[in-house]
Structure 1
Amino acid sequence: MHASPLVTSEWLQTHLQDPDLVVIEASIGKVIGKEPIEYDSPVCIPNAIKLDIETDLSDLTSSSVHAFPTLEQMRSLLKRVGINQRQTLVIYDNQGIYAAPRVWWIFKTFGFDKVYILDGGLPHWLQEGRAVASAYTASTGCLVDDALQLHSANLKSSAEILSNIESSSFKVVDARSEDRFMGRVSEPRPGVRSGHIPQSLNLPFLKVLDGHLYKSPQDLDQIFVALALEPSRPIAFSCGSGITACILLVAAIVSGREQVSLYDGSWAEWGAGEGFPVEGEA
């Protein structure tokens, strides 16, 4: 396998019957920032299992929206569905590229090396006329590797984001729309202020996509260079609740940037916290 986080539909088609391959659909019910794709009837990639990002892969004991799962939660989930770190995981999304990068980053943060995103997701797979199924595969439980651990450097806390406003040790890039970033429109979540984190940059997530696919590594590099984000510059990505930020995070990795992290609380936490400074508030 190559170092890219992405695999093509051709690659997945070729390897679909590999015994150590696990295909995971990781879609999300509520889509913000793009027109949702609706399906008339159940359809999935053959042999896929379904993980729910809002229940299976969110810490429901946290007050934060879509909070990162805990180590114990992840260990319990993997045992229930029968996934371990020796397997190759391919994650796809029924919206093309939307929630799958978030789920990819969760698995990477818990130490999975052989985990990839299907570039283009289910829409691209369907456009190419590839085989589909009407039901997910039932998962079979097994023991989880004892080596499972959370790599905390992949995540940023609100305290780290706050101190960075003074230290500028990394750059914060916000994946929300320009109107939300500038505070021209109300936030979709009640009680959350409009605007953005001081000194953060705006890169709406749709700008790194070409239809359902990621843009080329060269085009993505040019996008980040235009924001003065050279490969050596550490970047923390933010959005509304930590989902679409991961679209940019993966785009940065594809472009050759490796010093990346996720502000998991994102604007749902920052905009609701009275002690956090805001720019661009209407």
Structure 2
Amino acid sequence: MQLPLVTTRWLDANLNAAELVLIDVSMRKIVGKEAIVYPTPLFIPGSKRLDLETTLCDVNSSQANAFPTEAQFTGAAQRLGINSDSIVVLYDNQGTYAAPRAWWIFQAMGVKNAFVLDGGLAQWLSEKRAVVATLAGPAAAAGDIQGALQAGLVCNSDYIFAHLASGQLAILDARSHERFLGLKPEPRAGVRSGHIPYSLNLPFAEVLDGHCFKNPEQLAQIFSKLIGSKTQPLVFSCGSGITACIILLAAVMAGYQNVTLYDGSWADWGSNATLPVA
């Protein structure tokens, strides 16, 4: 897997590249951090929009923020003009929040040339780079990209429960310490407090330095304190599968390759009374 980030400097120098597809994937609902509020819409020039809460979410699922179907993904990506040779750069307006989730969806659907803008719009603005108030127009022609869900990159509660006590998996939870320990109520009704037994806590803010990710060496030190081997299978969880992707991306930067997203995350596990809670 390629290094998943591009820098603001790289993007600024390549904004007019013919193969670039720049996508704003900002979310309306922000959980787990203080939201950055913009009085008026702002976008990096040339941005198109992809909605993670509707367009790239299986709204027919009972699960919060459910992974999109292959057909959903393919249709949305083609409408944006994404081709098999496109370079897709994803960003959000919170610095680092939703873009890693979008990146993992692209990765899981077999689109490997998709990247996250490190620091997103917030970092871009802090460097006083140009912004616009409107999105780019529709693509001149539909793209030819085809999404195909790759095996092993997304899992459900059955998979975790089957391996729970075996020691084969390391489960990392991106929620705050207070939520992980059950000291703070969950924001979703009907979801119990606590965490998946045997899981480890790595709040997503700990892999960030301001709006951006810490460097690979710093991230390797963080993960080495939690995980013994870089070959051990890692499963990432959070509240509903959004911020889990932040620490998943950080793990990839640190050199871990056997990574899986628990898409339902705690909203799924904690609302199922048949599953154990620690």
- For the criterion TM > 0.5, the same-fold answer is yes
Give 1:227 shift: 1.0
Alignment partners' CA distance in 1, 2:113 and 2:143: 18
Show the counterpart of 2:149.
150
Show the counterpart of 1:52.
51
Segments of structure 1 that go 5 or more residues without pairing to the other structure are none
Give 3-state SS (helix, strand or coil) of 1:162's partner. Answer: helix
Contact 1:85 1:113 in 2 (8 A): no
Give 3-state SS (helix, strand or coil) of 1:152's partner. Answer: coil
Q: Deviations over 1:144-177 (max 9, x none)?
A: 335x311031011110010111222211000000
Show the counterpart of 2:88.
89
Comparing 165-174 with 8-17, greater Cα deviation is found at 165-174
Show the counterpart of 1:240.
239
User: In angstroms, what is the RMSD of aligned CA positions?
Assistant: 1.2
Query: One-letter code of the match for 1:83?
Result: I
Alignment partners' CA distance in 2, 1:251 and 1:216: 9
Note the 1:122-137 alignment, pairs <5 A.
122-137=121-136
Segments of structure 2 that go 5 or more residues without pairing to the other structure are none
Structure 1 segments, 4+ long, off by >6 Å, are: none
Give 3-state SS (helix, strand or coil) of 2:138's partner. Answer: coil
Alignment partners' CA distance in 2, 1:89 and 1:228: 31
Give 1:3 shift: 2.7
Contact 1:157 1:263 in 2 (8 A): yes
Give 1:229 shift: 4.0
Alignment partners' CA distance in 2, 1:143 and 1:81: 7
The reply to whether residue 263 of structure 1 matches residue 262 of structure 2 is yes
Alignment partners' CA distance in 2, 1:229 and 1:51: 37
Give 3-state SS (helix, strand or coil) of 2:152's partner. Answer: helix
Show the counterpart of 2:164.
165
Contact 2:171 2:198 in 1 (8 A): yes
Alignment partners' CA distance in 2, 1:168 and 1:273: 22
Give 1:30 shift: 1.2
Contact 2:165 2:198 in 1 (8 A): no
Question: Size of the alignment, in residue pairs?
Answer: 277
Alignment partners' CA distance in 1, 2:143 and 2:40: 34
Query: One-letter code of the match for 2:186?
Result: E
Contact 1:173 1:203 in 2 (8 A): yes
Give 3-state SS (helix, strand or coil) of 1:63's partner. Answer: coil
Q: Deviations over 1:39-85 (max 9, x none)?
A: 11111000000111100110001000000000111122123222222
Contact 2:66 2:263 in 1 (8 A): yes
Give the TM-score normalised by the residue count of structure 2: 0.97
Alignment partners' CA distance in 2, 1:95 and 1:25: 11
Q: Percent identity?
A: 48
Give the TM-score normalised by the residue count of structure 1: 0.96
Show the counterpart of 2:114.
115
Alignment partners' CA distance in 1, 2:216 and 2:143: 37
Contact 2:80 2:143 in 1 (8 A): no
Give 3-state SS (helix, strand or coil) of 2:130's partner. Answer: coil
Alignment partners' CA distance in 2, 1:79 and 1:221: 36
Contact 1:224 1:230 in 2 (8 A): no
Alignment partners' CA distance in 1, 2:107 and 2:227: 27
